[in-house]
A and B are shown apart, each in its own frame.
Chain A
Amino acid sequence: MRDLGMGVNANAVEAVNTVENANPQAPLLRIRDLRVAYRTEHGPLEVVHGVDFDLQPGESLGIVGESGSGKSTVLLATARLLPSNAVITGGQAQLRGQDLLTADAKALRQVHGPQIGMLYQDSLRALNPVMKIGKQITEVLNAHGAPGVPEDTARDLLRSVGLSDPERLMSQHPHQLSGGMRQRVMTAMSLALSPRILLADEPTTALDVTIQAQILDMLRHRAIETGTAIVMVSHDLGVIANLCQRVLVMYSGRIVEHGTTEEVFSDPQHPYTAALLRSVPRVDRGLRRLPFIEGRPPDPADPPQGCSFAPRCPLVIDDCKQGVPPLVSTGEDREAACLRSDDVNPVRTALTSADKQQLAEHDVDGEQLGSQETVLVIRGLTRHFRIGRGRQAVILRAVDDVDLDIRRGEFLGLVGESGCGKSTLGRMLVGLESADAGTVTMDGQEVTAAKGRAARSMRRFAQMVFQDPRSSLNRRMTVAQHLEEALEHSSTPRAGRGDRLRELVDQVGLPAAALTKLPDEFSGGQVQRIAIARALAVSPQLIVADEAVSSLDVSVKGQIVNLLRDLQSNLGVTVLFITHDLGVCRQVSDRIAVMYLGRLVEVRQTDELFTSPRHPYSRALLSAIPVPDPVAERERERIILTGDVPNPTNPPSGCRFHPRCPVGPSVYPEREICRTIEPQLDDEFHTACFFPHEDIAEDASVELTR
């Protein structure tokens, strides 16, 4: 299986071997001055402005940057898989001496598969929906004349990426698999011919952290087995730190910094890298606010003079605006495109300590606000969905007997894997979903059974901010119209509404001129501000923010989270912050509730949870998050959960976590209790586990990761 690709185009391989022999130092992939433009109504618009890099055999290289930086475009251009509206306008891409950019369709077909394998972000869209998994894999083998029986090889490949029942998978279609399984299938497919290079475009972005950890682990092992070099594009610095030896940082179509992952992450030489590192929510250091980068990336149609980061740069000097600073060598195997590259790290260190100071100040605020008064009491709250009809119907236990007290003015994080019921719980609190059982008491008034007028007054009590702000606003209504509509249901007298509108936009940090504009005229972060203003219009006690920052870029994410945090301290509003992003959650939440399959498993003060998590699931969740620090990434202990998130239609008996639990009955067979009795949150530590805070045996976790 190792060298499936070799037999395919023996001549080409031989030709390339000659080149390799002639120059043993020649890189596997050499990109020089790569330029890509998109066709637009106003003519071609260059989005990648001359990118250079080399890739050595077996190496793993990360490309990091925010959306619009051109990182994916570079990847697709290298593989010659750009969409039809993009054109490569210049440069070279040589794969062991063969120029990819001038290669014809026939030559490319021999490159795709045996030389270059592709891995994409959205596995559901990237796999053919109407073709069986088995056929999608065997067709790669057949197309390149791989030896052996294709079906047997395909089964071996599926097994090699950790899929246990290849026989069944072969005859299934992509939509029948979970996201994690599909990503494994794609990996099996792209590594089928043991290609020289794997080009991976955000392959774990759509996955839960626990599944992401599995996939990264699997990718690393498979790449080593097949000797494949990896180019990994990601916006997640933690993922890059986890997997990559070297990293390229891209900003608005240019590489701004390059070096080994250790050096770039510990001693950044470009202010953008420094800002990016600073704005990443870190689980390994606590701050009550998220630092962010002021401003936003330049519009590619209207780039600034000189360095494109200059308008946002804290170190900017007049010379920066004179011309684009070239990428120059700043040390062995290090490059940066900044005139002040030596000053970056000292400033970063200074800024980080400023952050810490800010933290200290805000912590004082936090303590003043952290009243013990309970504003919302949830008891036995349950929501089951019927799926299907008649005898086929199954019950999906989205939220199952949840007890939770929310304190006035607190910032409560609610975390868990996708499908754990956290969004349903949030929707029930704002009245978008009805309860099957249990009660919600707001300020002493039970609202679960409220109807008519009482239900409407509950809406004034709690408001929701959604993940995708654009689709939660009407494109044809101005900001003022949105807010006025919301004010209809508030107690604001009609006469005072004009002032109230201005007050609202001011509270979310937008100018009064924003009122007359339509949602499409704003950027993603600004639209989320408008959605927040709308939620504030009725002066709610509680704001439920459901993944409200998940789709925003790192640099904008901080702005919105801080806004929520400010509203909490200035207006005394309580925030329930629902997220799968534990990093953000740690930095801003006062308390965190961890949810698993419809149940709360641990509800703790944030610092306590992160320093001494008690529930094995919380611990696994925390250890799965990659940290943007390559040294820490390599050394820290990790619990990688096996298996997918179980199906909420058929939750396991007893403790719902027991089949995946590293301290449960799968490792310690004598712990029958976990299988039979469902643990409840205890009064002292608020943890639902029979064996909390127990050391996870070294061999046990190894057993589980395999």
Chain B
Amino acid sequence: MRRTVFTRLGGAFLGLFVLTVVTFLMVRLLPGSVEDAMLGTENVTPEARQAFRDRFGLDDPIVVQYVQWISNLVQGDLGNSIRSRQPVTQELTAKLGPSLTLSLVSVMISFCAAITLGTIAALKRDGVVDRLSTLGSIIGSSVPDFVIGLLLIVFVASRFDQFPSFGYEPLSSGLYEWARHLFLPVVAMSASLVGIMTRLMRTSILSTLEEDHVRTAIGKGLSRRRVIALHVIRPSLIPVITTAGLLFVAVIGGVVVIEFVFSIPGLGRLILESIKARDYPLIQGATLLIGVLAIIASILVDFIHRALDPRIR
């Protein structure tokens, strides 16, 4: 087990390395010079350009530049944002909280809902829950998130003051404040997630029910509750958890739209605005951050998967 942990972490570091190389090259490979990209083309004197080139060693060989960039990165220095002139790391950490919260809460709530719905749908096949959840899954996963978000604003937020249509409150301002601001965006994000995972859970349960070991469990005279919980649901969870982890990675990248719809000051909005303003240092930093989150998430999923499925240990 310890050995596999090491190999996994080794793989993660390799992934991290590739990620830094790609993000580093991203700016270097852009059309035009780096100083154009980093400083913008307006109101920049030639002296300032040269000063910039000297400061970042842009005339050095590219490997030296990369090493320099990495050593700055390790010290938390990703340069300054062009728009705000603030350090990139500072900008990112300020916006990370809302995005991470929104993504995590959405995935976790969707996961729990999907497990419950999928199980009931599979056990009571062709029953009311099954039909409704199938219909809901199709709608949820086919209607774009932002449409659901807008509908929620029009029909819910406008009528119920408890659920505001914009803004974000950190947990430190109180559980209630936090939850009521988060409620509608989470619902909008979860619609498709619940849809995907419910269908997966339902299929997974149905195939587990056909397995011989379930018959063995019934043949042991166990209670129905125990058979379903330990011999049906538990083995069925494995593919759903793997998918939930992958969805989490996708959600972190895709949170942009919902943050925009609900005016949440998160990472997604920051990226969107940076792209519009061609704020390359920030885009670079944000790419790196999302990449790191994705790597961490995939390692976590891998370990959970191993814990649940002894066959792949």
Contacts and interface: CB of A to CB of B under 8 A. Distances in A.
Nearest to B232: A128
A118 B216 contact: yes
Contacts of B231: 128, 131
A129 B313 CA distance: 13
B31 interface: no
A84 B206 CA distance: 12
B97 interface: no
Contact of A122 (B212, B219, B230, B234): B212
Contact of A129 (B220, B223, B311): B311
A178 B79 CA distance: 59
A436 to B, nearest CB: 27
Interface residues of A, number: 34
Interface stretch (A139-147, A288-296, A340-348): A139-147
Interface string A155-194: 0000000000000000001011000000000100100000
Interface string A313-356: 00000000000000000000000000000000000000000000
Given A173-B311, A175-B310, A392-B3, A126 B221 contact: no
Nearest to B310: A173
Interface in B294-313: 308-311
A110 B220 CA distance: 9
Contacts of A105: 224
Contact of B220 (A130, A173, A175, A189): A189
A128 B213 contact: yes
A81 B219 contact: yes
Contacts of A118: 216, 219
A140 B310 contact: no
A561 interface: no
A113 B230 contact: no
Interface string B228-251: 001100110010000000000000
Range, interface on chain B: 20 to 34
B219 A79 contact: yes
A84, A117, A128 pick with most chain B CB within 10 angstroms:
A128
B235 A129 contact: yes
A144 B221 CA distance: 8
A109 interface: yes
B210 to A, nearest CB: 8
B1 to A, nearest CB: 12
B310 A129 contact: yes
A127 B215 CA distance: 10
A269 B215 CA distance: 37
A114 B220 CA distance: 9
Contacts of B132: none
A656 interface: no
A111 interface: yes
Interface in B231-286: 231, 234-235, 238
A351 to B, nearest CB: 40
Given A127-B213, A131-B230, A112 B218 contact: yes
Given A173-B310, A175-B310, A129 B222 contact: no
18 contacts: A81-B215, A81-B219, A112-B219, A112-B221, A118-B219, A120-B212, A125-B211, A125-B212, A126-B212, A129-B310, A130-B308, A131-B230, A131-B234, A140-B220, A143-B223, A143-B226, A144-B221, A173-B311
Given A110-B221, A127-B213, A129-B309, 10 more contacts: A81-B218, A83-B210, A112-B220, A114-B221, A128-B231, A128-B235, A129-B235, A130-B234, A130-B238, A131-B234
